[in-house]
A = this chain, B = another copy of it.
Amino acid sequence: MRIRPLLIAALAAAVCCSCGQQAGGGAAAPVKEDFVSMSTNQKGQEYPMVNSDGIVRNRVYAPEAKSVQLQINGILFPMHKDKDGYWIGESTEPFDEGNHYYAIVIDGAEVPDPNSVFLYGSGKERTQIEIPAHDQDKYALRDGIPHGQVREIWYHSDVEGALRHLFVYTPPEYDRDVTKRFPVLYLHHGGNENETGWSRQGHCGLIMDNLLADGKTLPFIIVMGYGEHGRPAEGSTAGYMDSPGFKMYPEILLKDMIPYIDKEFRTIPDGAHRAIAGLSMGGMQTRVISLANPETFNWVGIFSGGVISPEDLDNNPSYEKYNKLTFIGYGSREVENPRGGVDPAEVTSQIQARGINTHYYISPLTAHEWQTWRRCLYEFAPLLFR
């Protein structure tokens, strides 16, 4: 067989039921009163808050409402009105470290919380919360170190016949030595996300700034485009890889985006200095594109988006010839009960035995969510272009 879409889809989707919620939360235990404001709150807003167990508390002013609920990752929690017209409530389950979607529901209307910023995810800009992580220093904004730039760019695609929007991270030294050229990582968002995700929720620029300041990675450019173009029709059983958009994207990347970046930036324009990675749908795209074009991308990272299997190598013999790294990452909650019984660690060890330089990473106690992918990037970047 040429490809095994069902296996890949199963591995990528192995998480959908976990909703980023810890199993067996402490609903009956007393709530720890060490709540702090969320980092995703608007400037000066106290609520929503989170305690050290990952319990979320919110407060909403709705004096005439009959009912207000707190919705996190699709789960509804009741809120209660005080004498001043504020509704207060908290989650009865703790949430995992990292980023989760939430909203408030006022008399049946689900609306954004005015106290939070908007971030794009699950198909639109919406309010999100951020549970502080034990390793949040990885993506902290640090004073006293050099910072790179995240550049917003419009460019024309001949393939699509339209303008396209992308973001480019350049390392701190990029503008300081205009004779130096840099490798490039093409980094892909997931389904129902867009080109803002890796720099906003993913903190890609801050992760690179921190790794560079600590001497843990080589400097390189990161390109974050928009990879979703049409999806399978509602109710269709076709996977992403069968949708027209999924088929158009590799052509846009190869014919428009890479030539544009190689023209406008001081790149080293060969496969040995070009990496491709992505999360979820972007991981599936990474897999398909790197198998078909291993000479163009010698470095490959798939985060919660499938594996490269021995059958893939059989069907794409030049992959073994060109590939310098195949990084496979998942959240631990994604692989606890892999669907179809397929273990991505086992598949990855099989291609390692064939001579592929693999790196297998599991993010502790996270699911199919940004905390997994921030950690994947933090582990992946130091391995590149060595």
Contacts and interface: CB of A to CB of B under 8 A. Distances in A.
Interface of A: 42-43, 60-68, 85, 103-104, 106-114, 117-118, 124-126, 141, 143-144, 147, 149-156, 162-163, 175-176, 178, 199, 205, 264-265
B114 A110 contact: yes
Contacts of A113: 111
A205 B109 CA distance: 37
Contacts of A62: 106-109
Contacts of A118: 117-118, 125
B150 A151 contact: yes
B154 A64 contact: no
Contacts of A125: 42, 117-118
18 contacts: A42-B124, A43-B124, A60-B109, A61-B109, A62-B109, A63-B108, A64-B66, A65-B109, A85-B108, A104-B111, A106-B111, A111-B111, A112-B114, A114-B124, A114-B126, A143-B163, A147-B154, A176-B264
A64 B107 contact: yes
B106 A109 contact: yes
What are the nearest 5 A-B pairs in CB distance? A62-B109, A64-B108, A118-B118, A147-B154, A178-B178
Contacts of A143: 156, 162-163
Q: Identify which of A111, A124, A162 gathers the most chain B CB atoms within 10 Å of its CB.
A: A111
A176 B266 CA distance: 10
Q: Taking each of A104, A151, A199, which has the highest tally of chain B beta carbons within 10 Å of its own beta carbon? A: A151
Contacts of A150: 151-152
Nearest to A87: B109
